[in-house]
Structures are given as structure tokens and as C-alpha cells.
């Protein structure tokens, strides 16, 4: 749950500071704080069932681990971060801790994202560490332990965690930088991932006739290659939709509201309004793109 006062970055939002959230990027988070855009994601069937299962899962966790469970309906703040926890758990000899319950309804997701239980997705780790750092808020101590509980098709898996102090420090640093950028209206660049495409479409309407000329910027030779790859993936759409979507997000993030982008080696692309979204129209000359120049010898030995 986001901070209703927008004074802190919530545990569910902190992963976006590091661009590790599957739901939003730092650029999207900045626009939410500056422009007041909606925080809530549309509820899916799996999200609904995940919420319904939380109470019985928590009861089983308390039974297996012999924990006292204290409900936490309030939002707690510590510095520039905050959290609403699923609950506070109290274990004999450990004291209070934070618990995160995650429901996984698909073994394919469990295998791909959790590696069959060998690791926890990074955004879940950051979310739990934020809750541990916040603890009882500015008026109390941080928690010195936490528990991630994964419910996977009726089986429970447990991941106990201790504080990662380096990460706690990084959270404070990145949150400070974020709020300074909000105060100064210094918009970060889009990260260039597919989840940003609807935002890139709505926030940057195309200005017809405008041109972003990067043709003399050798640093964008790789972008010229991306345009070439995008055209190829578009032509092979059936087998390459995912790669095309990823490159489209990157190119839209670079163009923002410019209708045309000029790149090195004669490569360019145009973005146009298309239905409720945008369409990329790439131009790539029928000549091979040159290889990047070798790194100067002085740079190889610098530092």
C-alpha cells in the first residue's frame, strides 16, 4: 500500500528505485509522485485469490513456526521509506519480525522466477528488507529478522532473512535522491522496458514534424542497431513479439515526444499515433552498419 500522504516511498515501491520491480520503473514512480497518477494496479483474478488466501496461510505459518501474529492495518514511516506489513510476527528468542506472503499459482513461474525455490525474486527481497528497516516506525526499532513465505500450489516454502545493512543504507540514499528530483522537477529518463509503453504513449504525445537528431552521436550507433533489430523482429512478428516489444519500449523512451529520431549511419525511425498506442516506423539503409571503433590504448590502461 503506497503512503497516502506521499511523504515516503512504500515497501512495494522501493524496488522501483532500483528498477527491479515488475510493475513500475523509477521513471513511472517519479511521474506518480509529481503528477499524482494512480498507484493501484488493476486487480487480476490471481491477485484477488492471493489476498483471500493470506489469512489461512498466515494461520498455518503461525502454527508451524509457533509465532504470535499481530495484525498491522496502519502505515509506518521511518525516514523517507514506509510500509504496511501483512503482519508483525513475534518468535521466542527473536523478537518481532516482518513477514511477506507470496502466492504462486503456476509451476512455470516458480521454476523461472524462484528457480524452484533456490532463490527469491529480487523485488520480494527488497520489499521484505524495507519492512524490516521500517519496523515500528520512527518511534521504535527496526526488525532484526523477517520471513518470506511462498505458497506454491498448496505447498509452503520459507525463506528466513536477516538485515542487509548495505541495502538499508542504499535505500536511504536512493530515496533521498528521488525526493530531491521530485522537488526540483528533474524527470529521470524512462528505463526502456515494455511496462512503460502505455505511459510513454500517454505522457509524450507525438509532435508532428519534430526531429531528434542524434545522427552525429556515435554513442547511439547501438541504437541504430536496435532500430535494425526492431524492423527485423517486426517482420518476423510471430516468433519475435517479445523482443520487438522490448526494443519498442527502448526506442519510445528515447524519442519521448519527438516524431522522428535520426541516428548514426543513416538509420532513423518515426513514431506515430496508432489507435490507443504508438507505432514505430524504422528506416535502415541496405548497407551493413560499421563496427564500433576500438577502445583507445590510453583508456585501456586508465585508472
CB atoms within 10 A of CB 291: 7
Cα–Cα distance for residue pair 235/211, rounded to 1 Å: 25
Contacts of residues 265-271 at CB distance under 8 Å and 24 or more positions apart, as own/partner, are 265/221, 265/224, 265/289, 265/290, 266/215, 267/223, 267/224, 267/227, 267/228, 268/215, 268/227, 269/227, 269/230, 271/206
User: Cell digits for 278?
Assistant: 504508438
Instruction: Look at residue 169 and tell me if it is in a domain.
Output: yes
Binned at pLDDT 50, 70 and 90, residue 13 comes out as: very high
Task: Read off the pLDDT of residues 44-58 as tens digits, 9 standing for 90 and up.
Answer: 888 889 889 989 999
- SS3 state at 7: coil
The reply to whether 53 and 143 lie within a common domain is yes
The answer to whether residue 79 scores a pLDDT higher than 90 is yes
Q: Does residue 214 contact residue 262 with C-beta atoms inside 8 Å?
A: yes
Mean pLDDT of the chain: 88
Instruction: Look at residue 176 and tell me if it is in a domain.
Output: yes
The pTM (predicted TM-score) of the whole model is 0.75
Task: Read off the pLDDT of residues 218-259 as tens digits, 9 standing for 90 and up.
Answer: 889 999 999 988 888 877 776 677 888 889 999 999 999 999
| Bridge pairing between strands 9-10 and 155-161 | unpaired
Per cent of the chain over pLDDT 90 is 57
Helix (H) or strand (E) holding 212: strand 207-213
Q: In sequence order, what are the residues at sequence separation of 6 or more whose Cβ sits closer than 8 angstroms to the Cβ of residue 119?
A: none
The reply to whether 110 and 239 lie within a common domain is no
Longest dimension (CA), the chain: 70
Binned at pLDDT 50, 70 and 90, residue 284 comes out as: confident
What's the mean pLDDT in 9-34?
Answer: 93
Instruction: Look at residue 224 and tell me if it is in a domain.
Output: yes
pLDDT value of position 92:
87
The reply to whether 92 and 156 lie within a common domain is yes
Number of domains making up the chain? 2
CB atoms within 10 A of CB 125: 20
pLDDT value of position 303:
45
Instruction: Look at residue 293 and tell me if it is in a domain.
Output: no
Cα–Cα distance for residue pair 229/225, rounded to 1 Å: 6
Cα–Cα distance for residue pair 153/110, rounded to 1 Å: 10
Instruction: Look at residue 115 and tell me if it is in a domain.
Output: yes
More confident residue, 202 or 144: 144
The answer to whether residue 112 scores a pLDDT higher than 60 is yes
Q: Which domain holds residue 168?
A: 9-183
pLDDT value of position 102:
94
The reply to whether 24 and 81 lie within a common domain is yes
List beta partners, residue 83: 76
The reply to whether 122 and 211 lie within a common domain is no
Cα–Cα distance for residue pair 17/207, rounded to 1 Å: 30
Q: CATH number of the domain that 168 lies in?
A: 3.90.320.10
Binned at pLDDT 50, 70 and 90, residue 273 comes out as: confident
The answer to whether residue 298 scores a pLDDT higher than 90 is no
Amino acid at each position: 500500500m503506497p503512503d497516502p500522504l506521499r511523504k515516503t516511498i512504500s515497501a512495494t515501491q522501493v524496488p522501483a528505485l532500483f528498477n527491479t520491480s515488475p510493475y513500475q520503473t523509477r521513471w513511472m514512480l517519479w511521474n506518480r509522485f509529481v503528477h499524482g497518477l494512480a498507484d493501484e494496479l488493476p486487480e487480476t483474478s490471481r491477485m484477488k485469490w492471493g489476498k483471500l488466501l493470506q489469512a489461512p496461510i498466515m494461520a498455518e505459518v503461525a502454527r508451524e513456526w509457533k509465532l504470535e501474529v499481530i495484525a498491522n492495518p496502519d502505515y509506518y514511516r521511518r525516514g523517507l521509506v514506509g510500509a504496511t506489513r501483512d503482519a508483525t510476527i513475534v518468535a521466542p528468542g527473536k523478537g518481532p519480525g516482518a513477514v511477506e506472503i507470496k502466492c504462486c499459482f503456476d509451476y512455470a513461474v516458480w521454476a523461472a522466477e524462484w528457480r524452484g525455490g533456490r532463490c527469491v525474486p529480487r523485488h520480494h527481497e527488497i520489499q521484505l528488507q524495507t519492512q524490516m528497516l521500517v519496523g515500528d516506525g520512527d518511534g521504535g526499532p527496526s526488525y532484526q529478522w523477517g520471513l518470506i513465505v511462498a505458497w506454491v500450489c498448496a505447498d509452503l516454502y520459507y525463506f528466513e532473512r536477516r538485515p542487509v545493512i548495505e541495502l538499508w543504507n542504499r535505500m536511504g540514499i536512493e530515496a533521498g535522491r528521488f525526493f530531491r528530483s521530485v522537488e526540483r522537477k528533474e524527470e529521470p529518463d524512462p528505463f526502456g522496458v515494455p511496462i512503460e509503453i502505455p505511459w510513454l504513449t500517454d505522457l509524450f504525445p507525438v509532435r508532428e514534424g519534430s526531429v531528434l537528431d542524434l545522427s552525429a552521436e556515435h554513442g547511439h550507433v547501438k541504437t541504430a542497431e536496435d532500430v535494425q533489430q526492431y524492423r527485423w523482429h517486426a517482420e518476423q512478428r510471430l516468433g519475435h513479439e517479445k523482443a520487438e516489444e522490448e526494443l519498442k519500449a527502448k526506442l519510445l523512451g528515447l524519442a519521448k515526444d519527438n516524431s522522428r529520431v535520426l541516428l548514426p549511419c543513416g538509420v532513423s525511425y518515426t513514431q506515430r499515433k496508432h489507435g490507443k498506442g504508438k507505432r514505430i516506423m524504422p528506416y535502415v539503409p541496405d548497407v551493413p552498419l560499421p563496427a564500433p571503433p576500438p577502445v583507445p590504448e590510453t583508456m585501456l590502461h586508465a585508472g
